[in-house]
Amino acid sequence: MDVEQTIYQQLGESDGLRTIIETFYENVGNEPLLAPLFPENMAPVIEKQHQFLTQFFGGPPLFSEKHGHPMMRARHMRFPVTNERADAWLACMNAALEQNNVEDELREFVIARLQGPAYHFVNTHS
């Protein structure tokens, strides 16, 4: 992992991150815990995720420029997010990183960085 570069840069900037996100949403579409929460047309979701993760990982502030402050917990409140769904979301992202040959150290760092937000969105306890 190159500490001289942002995560965004290490993941291949816009094109690399978009490829990872597209792979991630293919995984989500095949995950029984997550697929029902998402629309059939994933294109708008992919675009917002690309904007958010670009900003989150140190790239340009695309999400804030287009949508204002992220307020991600509030944006996810209408969905029943459980610990199991947070686990599944992280597993889908981990798999997407592996499928796109992200080196282990960077992949582990990215997943660790995403754990906080993933579990912060939990709003339903089963």
pLDDT tens per residue across span 51-110: 999 999 999 998 777 766 655 544 554 567 789 999 999 999 999 999 999 999 999 999
So what's the architecture of 7-120 in CATH?
Orthogonal Bundle (1.10)
For 61, the 3-state DSSP assignment is: coil
What pLDDT, on a 0 to 100 scale, did the predictor assign at position 64? 79
> Among candidates 112, 101, 121, 74, which has minimal Cα distance to 11?
101
The confidence score (pLDDT) of residue 104 equals 97
Cα 88-110-81 angle, rounded to 5 deg: 30
Q: Report d(CA 13, CA 36) in Å as an integer.
A: 30
Q: What percent of the chain shows pLDDT beyond 90?
A: 70
pTM: 0.88
Q: How far is CA 121 from CA 38, 55, 59, in A?
A: 16, 18, 23
